[in-house]
Structure 1
Amino acid sequence: MSRGVWLLLSALLAAALIPLLLGGTGLLGKLRGFPLDLLLLMLGMIVLCWNINAIRLRLLLKRLHRTTHLRSLAIVMATEFAICATPGGAGGPFTMMALLARRGVRPAQATAVFAVDHISDLLFFVCALIGILIYALFHALNPHVGWLLGGTAALMTGAIVLLFGLARFHRAVLRSNGRIMKRLGIKQSRRVRWGRKVLRFRNALKESLRMPHSTLAAVFGLTALHWLLRNSVLYITLVGLGAVIPWAWTFLIQMLALTAGQASLLPGGAGGAELASGALLTPMVGKSTAAAAILIWRAVTYYFYLIAGAPVFIHLAGRPLLNRLIRFRQA
C-alpha cells in the first residue's frame, strides 16, 4: 500500500479514536439514544448542499461550457471527495481542473472557476464572522473564544485584502517573482512559461468576475445557503443529544475546528478537527455529549463525503487520477 493510503487510514483512525477516548463509557448510550430521523435529516441536508453547489457550478460555467445538472452534481461530489481524501484539501482544485478539462474547459478557466467559488466562500465566512461578532456584543463570551473569533476574522479579512492586492498589483508581483526565479537559477524559458500560465489564469479570473451582477449575486446567495445548511449539522446533532446551545456558537466551533484541522495537513483535517471541537464543546456540554456530537457531526460532514463521493470519483476520473491523488503527498 502506498504512503498516501496509509496516511488516509491513519487519519480516519485518529478521527475515530479521539471522540471514543473523550466520551468514555457514556458515549455508547448517547449514540444509541440519538433519533434516527434527525440523522436522516442531516444526510438529506448534505445531499441538498451538493445540489446547491451543482447549481452554483453551472452558473460559473455558463459562459464556458453547457452541462447538465446531474453531471455538475457528479463533478461536485468527486471534487468534495478529493478535498476530504488529500492533505489540506489540495486534491480538490486538481480534480476539478482534470474533470473540466475533459469537457473542453481550459486549465486557466477551470482554475478561475474554482477561485471564484472559493472567493465566494471566503466572503461568506467574513460576513458570518462579522454577524457573530455583533451577536457576541450582546451575549456573554468566553475571552479565549473571543480572541479566537477576532483572530479568525482578522485572518480572513487579511486574506481578502491580499487577494485584491495581488490582483491590483499583479504586474509588480510578476516582475518580483521573475527576479527571484532568476536569482535561483531557473531557466528563462521556464520563467516565461510560468509567467504565461499566471497571466492566463489572471485573464480567466478577470473574465469570470465580469459576469452579470445578478449571476454573481446568485452565486453568493447559493454559497450562503450551502454553508448555512452545512454548518447547522452540529446544532441539530446537539439538539438530538438534548444539549442545546446557541446556533452562532456551533457555527463558530465548526469554523475554528475545521481551520485547526486544515492546519494539521491530514486528509479532511482528521484528528485536528476532533481535538479542536472537543476542546471547545466539552466545557459547554460535557465529555460524553461532546464526544457523541463530534462522532455524528464528522460522520455526516466527513465520512459521508468519502463514502458517497468515492464511487462517483472513480466513475468520472478513473483509477489513474485516483492513484495520482493517493500519491499527492509524495509530489
Structure 2
Amino acid sequence: MKIRLGALLAVSLGVAVLIPLLLGGQDVFALLATVKPATLALLLGMVVIGWNLNAGRLRLLSAGYGLGLGQGRALAYIVATEFAVCVTPAGGGGAVVYPWLLSRHGLAKSRGLALYAADHVMDMLFFLAALCVVLLHSLAATQFTYLGWQLGVTAMLLVVPLLLLWLLIENFRKVFHAAGRSLLRLGVGAGWRWRLARHSLEFFRSLHLIRGYSKMRLAAIFLLCSGHWLLRYSVLYFAILAVGESITWDYAFIVQMLAQAAGQLTILPGGSGGIEVSSSLLLIPHIGVAAATSAILLWRFVTFHWYLIAGAPVFALLAGKTLWRLLAGREVLQLGGESEVRAPPRRTVQKEPL
C-alpha cells in the first residue's frame, strides 16, 4: 500500500485540529481568544530555547568525533531534524536526516546514527530520572491515588526499552551472529549481509566510543538534555494556565509522556489522533472539556505546527528535494516496504570552530 507523504501530513494536520474542535465545540474559540499574545510568545520562546540547548548537546556529542560545529549550524541541523520527525510516522525521519546532515562533514552515516541513538538514550535516562522525582513528589503530596497507573505504565515504557538496549549491547556478538544466520535462512544475498554487518559493527563501535566520553562531557550533555525536556514538557502546563485552569506540573508531565507514547501507535505524522485522544481522556476529568481541548490545541500548535512552520524553510535550505525524496521514498511512503534512494555524493565542509 502506497501513501504519499504529503497527503499523510495533510491528514495529520487536519486530525490534530478537528479532534479537539469536535470535542470542545464553540467554547474552544472563546477560550483561545483569551490567550494573551505574550503567553503565546513565551511558549514559542521556550521551544526556541530548547532547540538551542539541543544544538549545544549536538556540538558536545559530535565533538568527540572531531566535528567542530558552530552553534548556528548545529541549531539548523536540530530544527531540520525536528521537522523531519514531525512529518514522518513515528518520527522515523529523524534517524534519516540527523546522520545525513552530519555526513556532510565527512562523518559516516553509521556513526551519525550512533550519535542519534545515544541522543535518544540520554533522553530516556532523563525521563526515567524525572519519573522517579515525580513518583517521590506524588507520594509526599499524597497524589499517588490518581497518578498510580499512569506512573506504572510510563515507567514500563521507559524501563523495558532501556533494558532491551542494555541486553543488546552486552550480548552484541550473540545477537550479531544470530541475525546473520537468520538473514542467511531468509535468502538475503551475501552483498546485503556484508553491508549490514559492516554498518552494524560501525554502529556499535561508535556507541562504545560515546561510552568512553569523559564524565564532565556526559554530565554537560545530560544537563542540556534535561533543560530541553523540562522546557518542552512545561508547555502543556502553561497552556492550561493560559486558558484559565490549572493542574499540577507532575500530572501535565505524565499526560504528555502517555500521549506521546499513544501517538507512536498511529501511522500519522506527529502522532496526530493518538496524542489528541489520549491527552483529552486524561485531562477532561480534571479541567473540563472546553479547557482541556483548548489547552491541547495551544500545546499542539507550539509543539507540532510550530515545528513545521519554523522547520520547513530550514529543511529546504539545507537539503531541499533531495532529502525530502529520501524521507518519502521517491516521494512515496511505502507501508510494508522500503524504497532505497541514494543520497548525493558526500561533500567536505570546512569545519567551524567549537
Give the TM-score normalised by structure 1.
0.96
Where in structure 2 are the equivalents of 1:1-331 lying within 5 Å? 3-64=4-65, 65-138=67-140, 139-141=142-144, 145-326=147-328, 327=331, 329-330=333-334, 331=338
Is the CA contact (8 Å cut-off) linking 2:237 and 2:249 kept in structure 1?
yes
**Per-residue deviation at 1:162?**
1.1
Secondary structure at the residue paired with 1:269? coil
Runs (4 or more) in structure 1 with deviation over 6 Å come to none
**Per-residue deviation at 1:40?**
0.5
Percent of aligned pairs sharing the same letter: 43
Q: Give, as a single letter, the amino acid of the residue that structure 2 aligns with 1:37.
A: A
Which range is displaced more, 14-23 or 123-132?
123-132
**Equivalents in 1 of 2:82, 2:75: separation in Å?**
11
Is the CA contact (8 Å cut-off) linking 1:231 and 1:251 kept in structure 2?
yes
| Runs of 5+ unmatched residues, structure 1 | none
**Equivalents in 2 of 1:12, 1:220: separation in Å?**
32
> Over the residues paired in the alignment, what is the CA RMSD in angstroms?
1.5
CA deviations 1:198-220 (Å, max 9, x no partner) are: 01111111112211110001000
**Equivalents in 2 of 1:142, 1:311: separation in Å?**
46
**Per-residue deviation at 1:142?**
5.0
Is the CA contact (8 Å cut-off) linking 1:86 and 1:328 kept in structure 2?
no
Secondary structure at the residue paired with 1:61? helix
**Equivalents in 1 of 2:41, 2:212: separation in Å?**
40
**Equivalents in 2 of 1:196, 1:328: separation in Å?**
28
**Equivalents in 1 of 2:281, 2:106: separation in Å?**
47
Give the TM-score normalised by structure 2.
0.90
**Equivalents in 2 of 1:127, 1:232: separation in Å?**
16
Q: Identify if the C-alpha distance between structure 1 residues 328 and 73 changes in structure 2 by more than 3 Å, giving closer, same or farther.
A: farther
**Equivalents in 2 of 1:125, 1:117: separation in Å?**
13
**Equivalents in 1 of 2:12, 2:264: separation in Å?**
12
Q: Give, as a single letter, the amino acid of the residue that structure 2 aligns with 1:11.
A: S
| Runs of 5+ unmatched residues, structure 2 | 339-354
Structure with the higher fraction of residues in helix conformation = 1
What residue in structure 1 maps to residue 343 of structure 2? Answer: none
**Per-residue deviation at 1:193?**
2.2
Is the CA contact (8 Å cut-off) linking 1:121 and 1:223 kept in structure 2?
yes
**Equivalents in 2 of 1:196, 1:2: separation in Å?**
32
**Equivalents in 2 of 1:146, 1:254: separation in Å?**
16
Is the CA contact (8 Å cut-off) linking 1:24 and 1:288 kept in structure 2?
yes
Q: Give, as a single letter, the amino acid of the residue that structure 1 aligns with 2:88.
A: T
**Per-residue deviation at 1:22?**
1.1
**Per-residue deviation at 1:231?**
0.5
CA deviations 1:32-55 (Å, max 9, x no partner) are: 111221111111111100100000
